[in-house]
Amino acid sequence: ELSVPLAHGKYIVFVDSDDSLSCTALEQLYIQAEKRQSDIVLGTLLRCYSDGRKIRMGEKVSVFTTDNTVLSGQDCFKRLIDTGCYVPMVCGNLYRTEFICKNDLHFGAYYHEDEYFTPYALFYAQRVSYFDKDFYFYRQRIDSIMHRTDNLKKRAESLSFAGNELISFIKEQTIGIDAKVRRAFREQGKHLCQRSQHLYEKELSISSRRCLLIFSEESIASQ
């Protein structure tokens, strides 16, 4: 859970335990947020590998075309999805604490909690800006949670939950939502469900347990 009541600062930044920030990151993000009056300042990530390689992740210059660009969260989400720039990770971004509290934003899934949090954050955000500097160093480990195979079923369940919740949420929003924005949120929900299915099938493919497959007349009649 996101323990916002424990946060006393004006802004919140998330950093995973094995990652790091540049020494000027927080100051630069703060300046950007104050200058643009942002609910969210989006950033990029540097994937850092043990062999010294660094790969940039989440560049958004095709969406934020100038340093002064400020978008509503819903328009930002649609554009990120359309351009393939969407990165759900909360690390590398800055959030205004009051904004998080006002909209009761929280992590609602045990795994892939970013996939649950980020669409809602962008749905409610009034002002989103972008900080186009490398400041978050995302350490890549072969034994990390996202590389293990002993948690595939639980990860699949979390993705399915997040996807179905998002589909239900956007369906309930009946007033004032642009059709293209609605479609972007709905398609993201479906995408999460598809990823869930893929993980569950991977779990079945590597499992040593026996599986019972039941074929009924109803299930094969259309084939």
Average pLDDT, the chain: 90
pLDDT, tens digit (0-9, with 9 covering 90-100), for 31-44: 999 999 999 999 99
Q: For 119-130, what is the HEC assignment?
A: HHHHHHCCCEEE
Residue with tokens 């934003």: 105
Strands 45-48 and 136-139 turn out to be parallel
Q: What pLDDT, on the 0 to 100 scale, is given for residue 150? A: 77
Cα–Cα distance for residue pair 136/53, rounded to 1 Å: 15
How far apart CA 11 and CA 84 sit, in angstroms, is 27
- Residue 25 tokens read as 């990151």
pLDDT at position 148:
67
> Whole-model pTM?
0.87
pLDDT surpassing 70 at residue 147: no
How far is Cα 73 from Cα 88, in angstroms, rounded to an integer? 13
